[in-house]
Amino acid sequence: MRLILLGAPGSGKGTQSQKLVERYAVPQISTGDLLRDARERGTPLGLKAQAAMDAGKLVEDAIVLGIIRERLAQPDTAQGFILDGFPRNQAQADALGAMLMEIGQPIDAVVLMQVDGDVLFRRLTGRRSCKECGRIFNIYTAPPGTAPHCDRCNDRPVLVQRPDDREEVIDNRLKVYAKQTQPLIEYYEKLGLLRRVDAEGGVDEVFARIERVLSAPNKHSRIS
Ligand code: AMP
């Protein structure tokens, strides 16, 4: 299964990717996670990406494409992958199409996670993660105590907020999404790959909707 999850920041791409990883046994490739990891390790690439990330802007295509190319070359992607947060503009979508054609691995579907603007804002401002185990919480909708037991943090999560989940940055991220990423909806629709999913509601409820659209046959051609 080779999938792209498309949707605004806060639409639940990361959460649903984790469920898709379990269901299809293919890795999640999140450019956001890969960039955050590079930044935390202080690599030259991570340091280069930092300013754009902190401002809620897109990191240069050359950096992101380099990361993706390297990741797709790893053997665990042979059976497929879930792309989360990539591509985010037309240049990235074009480069991805070319890369996949080279390795003969066309995308099977693009799932568009649709969430109302107010809900996105609440999800992003409320999002926290545990510093120890990485579990994601939401101080409004899924506060500590509602997640399954965790041995690593002993159910005493140390909550931290992503710097780009601060209100002033969120606004910018949503604008960048509208301007640069949203046009990809039409692009993938024309290729017959787009599957729209109502991504509001509980995690399992949304996952069931994703499974439903993925089991429906493709309408047109595949991207290659
Ligand atoms: P995310 O975790 O997907 O919300 O990504 C966090 C930040 O990483 C974004 O706001 C961007 O600054 C950067 N980023 C992630 N993916 C991409 C991408 N495909 N292209 C450019 N920048 C990206």
pLDDT digits (tens, 9 = 90+) for 20-61: 999 999 999 999 999 999 999 999 999 999 999 999 999 999
- The pLDDT tens digits for 145-173 are 877 788 888 888 899 998 899 998 999 99
Q: CA-CA distance, 27 to 48, in Å (whole number)?
A: 26
Query: The whole model's pTM is what?
Result: 0.90
Lining ligand 1 with CB less than 6 A are: 9, 31-32, 35, 52-53, 56-59, 64, 85-86, 88, 92, 164, 173
What value does the mean pLDDT take over residues 9-22?
A: 93
Contact 25, 79 (CB under 8 A): yes
From atom 10 of ligand 1, which residue's Cα is the shortest distance away? 56
Q: Is 173 a catalytic residue?
A: yes
Q: CA-CA distance, 64 to 86, in Å (whole number)?
A: 9
How buried is 148 (Cβ within 10 angstroms: 0-12 exposed, 13-18 middle, 19+ buried)? exposed
Cis bond before residue 87 (omega within 30° of 0): yes
Q: CA-CA distance, 187 to 198, in Å (whole number)?
A: 20
From atom 8 of ligand 1, which residue's Cα is the shortest distance away? 32
Q: CA-CA distance, 97 to 63, in Å (whole number)?
A: 17
